[in-house]
Amino acid sequence: MKVLVTGVKGQLGFDVVNELKKRGHTPIGVDVDDMDITDAVAVEKVITDAAPDAVIHCAAYTAVDKAEDNEEICRKVNAYGTENIAKVCKKLDCKMMYISTDYIFDGEGTRPWEPDDAVTKPLNVYGQTKYEGELAVRENVSKFFIVRIAWVFGVNGNNFIKTMLKLGKERGAVKVVNDQIGSPTYTADLAVLLCDMIESEKYGNYHATNEGLCSWYDFACEIFKCAGMDVDVTPVAATEFPTKAKRPYNSRLNKDKLTENGFNKLPSWQDATKRYVDILMSQNS
């Protein structure tokens, strides 16, 4: 199968391309230098010339706080860019997978969000534009997967784990938010699931994160435990760390639809964190 992957220089796109190669597929990885997704003409040419069986769209504007001051460019990438890709997928009648986010929900309550819940009032520009991207996919593509993820970490890029290890080493103590709840997502684990999905025809909306729930505080404690670091971690309320963009308090995502459709859920977030930290430690040794 020939699969075009956008955002190949990012954490997820990088791992998806590697997983596709392992399975004997032909991945075509592109980033902004190869295909500016905001340029409809360029998108049509690149995808049409590639003639893929499927497109896995990982590219996005993900600077959540900066998006509040750059709404136009954020929408151009996340909504209109996605629409450009969706229209070409429709024309070529190929599968499309769109990577979305927990931020499309308002983050209220404690009930886990269902894949087919109605979306109302994303809290920030990033969440709103990613939701608009979802709408563009649904309106244009019949063979689509929309996969919402959260709290992402991978080898190829910056993330919470790398930040914690750096701060822990420099300061020996950190304060971390303990009233926002969700599940981390390891891109290496997620890439396996996404490839399982793209090989299937089980289309629709899905949630995919590593198993189990935690706060950012719990996550930080586990990171230092895995790294064997003695760091003083203090739990604090999110209000102590005001950010330009509002963050959801409730990022619990129900993933039962995965097993209902024959897919394997991801390993526990603790297991994923341990494997990832081991890789980072071996790289730095």
Q: How far apart are CA 203 and CA 205, in angstroms?
A: 7
- Strands 181-182 and 214-215, how do they pair? antiparallel
The C-alpha angle with vertex 113 and arms to 74 and 115, in degrees rounded to 5, equals 75
Helix %, strand %, coil % of the chain (to 5): 45, 20, 35
Torsion sign across C-alpha atoms 265, 269, 270, 275:
positive
Q: How far apart are CA 138 and CA 89, in angstroms?
A: 12
Give backbone dihedrals phi and psi of 113, rounded to 5 degrees, phi first: -70, 135
Q: Is 126 a catalytic residue?
A: yes
Helix (H, G, I), strand (E, B) or coil at 34: coil
Cα 36 versus chain centre, distance? 20
Longest CA pairwise span in the chain (Å): 56
216 backbone dihedrals φ, ψ, rounded to 5°:
-60, -35
> Which residues have C-beta within 8 Å of that of residue 45, sequence separation ≥ 6?
none
SS3 158: coil
| DSSP 8-class letter at 244 | S
In the set 98, 103, 126, 186, the catalytic residue is 126
**Residue 47 · residue 28 · CB < 8 Å:** no
Residues with a known catalytic role:
126
